[in-house]
Structure 1
Amino acid sequence: MAGGGAGRSLEETPTWAVAAVCFVLVLISIIIEHILHLIGKWLKKKHKRALYEALEKIKSELMLLGFISLLLTVGQSLITNVCIPPDVAATWHPCSPQREEELTKQDDLVDSDHNRRKLLAVSHLNVTFRRSLAAAGGTDKCAAKGKVPFVSEGGIHQLHIFIFVLAVFHVLYCVLTLALGNAKMRSWKSWEKETRTVEYQFSHDPERFRFARDTSFGRRHLSFWTKSPFLIWIVCFFRQFVRSVPKVDYLTLRHGFVMAHLAPHSDQKFDFQKYIKRSLEEDFKVVVSISPPIWFFAVLFLLFNTHGWRAYLWLPFVPLIIVLLVGTKLQVIITKMALRIQERGEVVKGVPVVEPGDDLFWFNRPRLILYLINFVLFQNAFQLAFFAWTWKEFGMKSCFHEHTEDLVIRITMGVLVQILCSYVTLPLYA
């Protein structure tokens, strides 16, 4: 091609224009790289090793997205030269056949008007005009064979934009996830300070005998509904929406951790809230990573946005169902720890001591819940990035979201899942 598509090639473009574009791109890249470097130095200075490693993961994932974009650029000619029959290319479209006919007619009207204006504007530059025509359609190998390209040049350009939008949303979601998690844990600071008061030591007398069901932790978790596994799941499902981590649960879990891992009289010296915050930062390294299975599900998401599948009625709800299931499971685990206290004896001495165990989790794997949270957060960011990209590229009423309920569902589910996962589920897991 003379110009790699319709329009002027670089040999017909002023060198100052090319140099200016390259200068701006390089300058922006250097500024972004310097900002990331300063953030890394600040994290090292504050001894936040886990967050520094999370930043390195984000940088590597941005590099991966950039590498995907580079492969698209380098392989553009190879992709566009792959020809497929028109009947195969007419399958699995986001638009219905009727909608595609309407869009084709609109495009034909716009193109004819555009070409008429172009002929009047460049009639005095016949040589350049002939070169543009040759670049635009003179080398269409697929059209000569009666076929169509596997993906057009315009489609590849739109994929470039989508990769950029995805990178922006991924970074924003990572920052928002950590910010909401820390905001949730900040409310626990007053509870931690309370453990150093005389009133707390008096109310948590280690020599005091009580019935397990009469303790604050027992009154919350030991009731008639704990006798039925079905009712346990129902009650725990609704508990994640109202005070997912109440004060009594926090103090009881704190006491259990101190008794299991620290010296008996180190209760007042230990800052459990700070420890949980560090645990969240450690988990954050996993949350921001994008594993191959997650990329596979992202590709399936692109595949399912096909006319007739009504993806907007079920696809945005998949992350919501998973995060609600995980949140319920975590509440069930706390309730089962309370039941274990009662199984050890009706009477307890001092504060009830909970005993967490891997057997309380699915398949004896606590990390599986963290991977599910990771999947939910990335898929949510991916879906909202896809929504923003289709809105920008194809307009509000495109084939990707031509129904009003589609817009409402995608935006509502995106915001709801992000708040639930970052502010409720992830801190509870930590």
Structure 2
Amino acid sequence: MGGAGGGAAASGTRSLDQTPTWAVAAVCAVIVAASILLEGLLHHLGQLLNKRRKKALFDALEKVKSELMTLGFISLLLTVTGRYISRICIPEGAANTMLPCRLSVHSEAKEPEGHGRRHLSEDPSYLFSCPKGMVSLVSADGMHQLHIFVFFLAVFHVTFSFFTMSLGRAKTRIWKVWEKETCLPTYEFQYDPSKFRLTHQTSFVRQHASCWSKSTILLYVVSFFRQFFRSVRRTDYLTLRHGFIAAHLSPGTKFNFRKYIKRSLEDDFKTVVAISPPLWASALAVMLVNVHGWHNLFWFSTIPLVLILAVGTKLQAIIAMMAIAITERHTVIQGMPVVKLGDDHFWFGKPRLVLHLIHFASFQNAFEITYFFWIWYEFGLRSCFHDNFELIIARVCLGAVVQFTCSYITLPLYALVSQVNTHLHCMLTFNHQPTLSINKTNTSQHFCQGDN
């Protein structure tokens, strides 16, 4: 009996009936304390958002908590069903197809007593051997690695959500200076409605409606490069602001357009943090085609890049087309040029389609980066997964660029340009008197003063 206990101790595979109660209680205490701390932090963050009337951000937080609950349930299922899944046997020929790494003959020779068994399989509760010519569908060690992958998904989902919103808000802070200019008397004098000018003399038209804008191809080429260099200029912001107020509010209204854009960005963020079934399907597709020799992960990593660049180009082209439309309507304007609002500027006349493309690109890119760090943690940086190391480094750098571009440039640009459509995002009130009703349930006061 003593020999059996010693053998168990030597192999390091003691079960709970042979583990000191103080050790079990200590580990459980740490896990419970960490869980309570996390739940408390999320609860206080929710209270803070409610106190500051950040309904959109509060809804986004609730969605993040819901996604974490889903991932937690997936982790629980892996834990409960792991032993039974590892006992499902499949033919060895089927098990040797579509491998992420080259099949190693030496590793098979080192484990004659059990096919596909790793260190977790040494536990007596996992002792199971498939018939000859058969192997486990997913080994016990493989189930444990999947369990860790789910944990990585949860951590990186929260991390990427935080950085996406932080970078987006940092971008809108730049527009705060321009918004304050509209409260100054010099602004009203500069854009005096009694002044008449030719359309081509306005700075907005000069920047966007040049000779190159007469060619559709050149317009999109210039728009492609413009998204990287001052994607939103002062004249763009002020002109879109003026067109928005002229279309939806009474003349002379002291409206804080930047604050409204910030609320719209928060509403868009609420959509971006959600993980829908199609996004889960795209993630599973990435895992499915990660076959040795195919190099599909690199090509999959280019999809978010292409989408983000295409969306950014389209948004810049919309601004240019609005400037061209001003020159086509008349030759003389009064005060600041008024842009024409409408959904027809967007693909298929649906602005939300652009947001869904941003959502897909952001999730796909974040998933691929998470996948890289999980492989690094589980198998090492120079593992068989990364046989073409230079290609892997290029893919990770590409992912970092895409994530920054999406969060700091494309998403804020969409929040601004999407306001040119005919539907508003929330209910605006001035001095507690409603002036117009719109689609979303948000209620807030957007004055020229009190910007934050």
TM (normalized to structure 1)?
0.89
Q: Post-superposition shift, 1:172?
A: 0.5
Deviation of 1:226 after TM superposition, in Å, equals 1.1
The answer to which structure, 1 or 2, has the higher relative contact order (CA under 8 A, 6+ apart) is 1
Separation of aligned partners in 1, 2:69 and 2:201: 56
Q: After the TM superposition, which residues 313-324 of structure 1 pair with which residues of structure 2 at under 5 Å, given as runs?
A: 313-324=298-309
2:3 alignment partner in structure 1:
none
- Once the two structures are superposed, the pairs formed by residues 160-309 of structure 1 within 5 Å of their partners are 160-266=147-253, 269-309=254-294
User: Superposition pairs for residues 98-137 of structure 1, below 5 Å?
Assistant: 100-101=104-105, 135=125, 137=127
Instruction: Using the TM superposition, give the Cα deviation of residue 280 of structure 1 relative to its aligned residue in structure 2, in angstroms.
Output: 0.5
- How far has the Cα of 1:133 moved from its partner? 7.8
Offset at 1:273? 0.9
> For 1:342-353, what aligned pairs fall within 5 Å after superposition?
342-353=327-338
Contact 1:211 1:347 in 2 (8 A): yes
Q: 1:328 to 1:82 in 2, by over 3 A?
A: same
Structure 1 residue 270: Cα displacement: 1.1
- Which residue does the alignment assign to 1:366? 351
Q: How many residues align structurally?
A: 401
Post-superposition shift, 1:217? 0.7
Which of 8, 11, 24 matches 2:14?
Answer: 8
Secondary structure, counterpart of 1:354 in structure 2: coil
Deviation at 1:88, TM superposition (A): 0.4
Deviation at 1:13, TM superposition (A): 1.6
CA–CA distance in structure 2, aligned partners of residues 134 and 222 of structure 1: 75
Q: Which runs of 5+ in 2 are unaligned?
A: 1-7, 115-121, 416-452
Q: Give the counterpart letter for 2:225 in structure 1.
A: F
Offset at residue 344 of structure 1 (A):
1.3
What's 1:92 paired with? 98
How much identity, in percent, do the aligned residues show?
54
Q: Residue 56 of structure 2 aligns to a residue in which SS?
A: helix
Q: What does residue 428 of structure 2 align with?
A: none
Of residues 379, 390, 402 in structure 2, which corresponds to 1:394? 379
Q: Give the distance between the partners of 2:135 and 2:192, measured in 1 at CA.
A: 79
CA contact (8 A) 1:358 1:366 kept: yes
Please tell me whether the aligned partners of residues 191 and 247 of structure 1 are also in contact (alpha carbons under 8 angstroms): yes
How many angstroms apart in 2 are the aligned matches of 1:426 and 1:348?
32
1:2-41 counterparts in 2 under 5 A? 7-41=13-47
1:425 paired residue number: 410
- What are structure 1's unaligned runs of at least 5 residues? 112-131
Q: Which amino acid aligns with 2:63?
A: K
Q: What residue is the counterpart of 1:158 in the other structure?
A: 145
- Structure 1 runs of 4+ aligned residues shifted over 6 Å read none
Contact 1:84–1:149, Cα closer than 8 Å, also in 2: yes
8 Å CA contact 2:126, 2:140 repeated in 1? no
Name which of structure 1's ranges 344-353 and 150-159 shifts more when overlaid on structure 2: 344-353
CA distance in 2, matches of 1:323, 1:136: 46
Secondary structure at the aligned position of 1:148 is classed as strand
- For residues 315 and 237 of structure 1, what CA distance do their matches in structure 2 show? 22
Residue equivalent to 1:117 = none
Aligned to 1:83: 89
Moved more, 315-324 or 70-79: 70-79
| 2:401 corresponds to 1:416 | yes
The aligned counterpart of 2:312 is: 327
Partner of 1:72 in structure 2?
78
348-357 vs 309-318, which moves further: 309-318
The residue number in structure 1 matching 2:437 is none
When the two chains are superposed, the root-mean-square deviation of aligned CA atoms in Å is 2.3
- Distance in 2, matches of 1:351 and 1:134, equals 79
| Alignment partners' CA distance in 2, 1:199 and 1:136 | 78
Q: Distance in 2 between matches of 1:167 and 1:151?
A: 22
1:396 and 1:80 map into 2 onto residues whose CA distance is 27
**8 A contact 2:286–2:297 mirrored in 1:** no
Q: In structure 2, what is the Cα distance between the partners aligned to 1:223 and 1:19?
A: 73
Bigger drift between 67-76 and 38-47 goes to 67-76
- Contact 1:312–1:409 at 8 Å: present in 2 too? no
Instruction: Report Cα offsets for 1:118-155 as digits up to 9, x if no partner.
Output: xxxxxxxxxxxxxx685554x32x2x353101111100
1:403 aligns with 2:388: yes
SS at match of 1:348: strand
Question: Which protein has the bigger helix share?
Answer: 1
